[in-house]
Amino acid sequence: MDSQDFAKTFLPEVTVDVVLLSIRSDGSLVTLLAQRDEEPFKDTWALPGVFVGRDETLDAAAARALRTKAAIVGDVFVEQLFTFGDLNRDPRGRIVSVAYYALVPEGRFATAVARNKDAVIARIDASATDDGIAVRNEAGKALKLGFDHGRIIGMALQRIRGKLNYAPIGFELLADEFTLFELQHIHEAVLGRKLNKDSFRRKMLASGLIEDTGQRRSGTAYRPAALYCFKKAER
């Protein structure tokens, strides 16, 4: 294609939308949403997102969305998810969204929501598929999602489910040191079902992903549990 043909080529607008995923102490899988105050999809709920600048990389746009729309400051695990380009996904015109997902520990997630007056914690229905998803507010009321953001959230959940057994996804949601119970809690929240304690313990110890720190969790009413960490060699 020569320069004249390129100049005549129609180029769509590109956005970046980011799915923040966190797990609360009650076992609920949550994300961060904001209510739209303008059309299209006014009064629905949407993911943090930005239009990609002319001189901006996709990764830089994702970082900007986290910083300006989600109040996430500092490093978190972020990975590109998928490109959503259905012809009628946005009534404003031909807009393609490159979706990312970010794994945020509970404490940092709560701080981000507190910093953002427009944000709300949305509980994710763990039975979701990549065809869509249901989200609810703290009171249990269903939230109506704009655009194709239900599909984006659903696909993010499917992605981390698929990675649980071979990548350190769960560790991004934990402190540097954790108990096997805490790690199991993360897996159960992502999978949306209970796991056998003994089977999970054997599987994780045989995985080669974790190692015993030699320390114990203190300050509990029960027998102090062994603390583990993610093997540095696998980082």
Residues 140-163: pLDDT tens digits?
Answer: 999 999 999 999 999 999 999 998
pLDDT tens digits along 163-216: 887 777 777 888 889 999 999 999 999 998 999 999 999 999 998 889 999 999
Q: Give the CA radius of gyration of the chain.
A: 20
DSSP code of 31?
A: E
- pTM score, two decimals? 0.87
Q: Is the pLDDT of residue 6 over 60?
A: no
Q: Is 151 left (phi over 0), alpha (psi -120 to 50) or beta?
A: alpha
Cβ atoms within 10 A of the Cβ of 18, count?
29
Q: Is 101 left (phi over 0), alpha (psi -120 to 50) or beta?
A: beta
Task: Give me the domains of the chain, ranges plus CATH numbers.
Answer: 3-163 (3.90.79.10), 175-234 (1.10.10.10)
Token pair listed for 149: 């953001």
